[in-house]
Amino acid sequence: MPAKLRQRCPILIEFRGGEIKVGTFASRGEQPADIAIMIREKGWNPYRVRFDDTRAAWIVSSLDMFPRLSESKRNKAARP
């Protein structure tokens, strides 16, 4: 596999007119669907994923974050 495809590229979230670094990286050889899954696991709701060659970064457009309960709130909610 060429070195260019293995290069770690940052994933940026386009959100409310700005960009947020999520601290996650992926190679430029990844598939957009795989990037969307990674971002969903972090609580975002992606609707478009693209690679920006000029910045060597994945850009994910999102309208909002999923509501996420903290671990302690989840445990309390599960108790009868």
Pick the range with the lowest mean pLDDT from 8-12, 14-18, 31-35, 52-56. Answer: 14-18
For residue 74, the number of C-alpha atoms closer than 13 Å in the C-beta half-sphere is 5
| pLDDT of res. 75 | 43
| pLDDT of res. 68 | 54
Are 3 and 20 in contact, with CB atoms under 8 Å apart?
no
What are the structure tokens assigned to 65, written together?
């974050």
Domain with 28 in it = 3-78
| pLDDT of res. 5 | 56
CA 45 → CA 4, 7, 21, 42, 54, distances in Å? Answer: 28, 25, 15, 9, 25
Q: How many domains does the chain have?
A: 1
Split at pLDDT 50, 70, 90, the class of 16 is confident
Q: How far apart are CA 49 and CA 24, in angstroms?
A: 14
**Which residues, in sequence order, are bridge partners of residue 18?**
15
Pick the range with the lowest mean pLDDT from 16-20, 30-34, 73-77. Answer: 73-77
- Looking up residue 16, the CATH number of its domain turns out to be 3.10.20
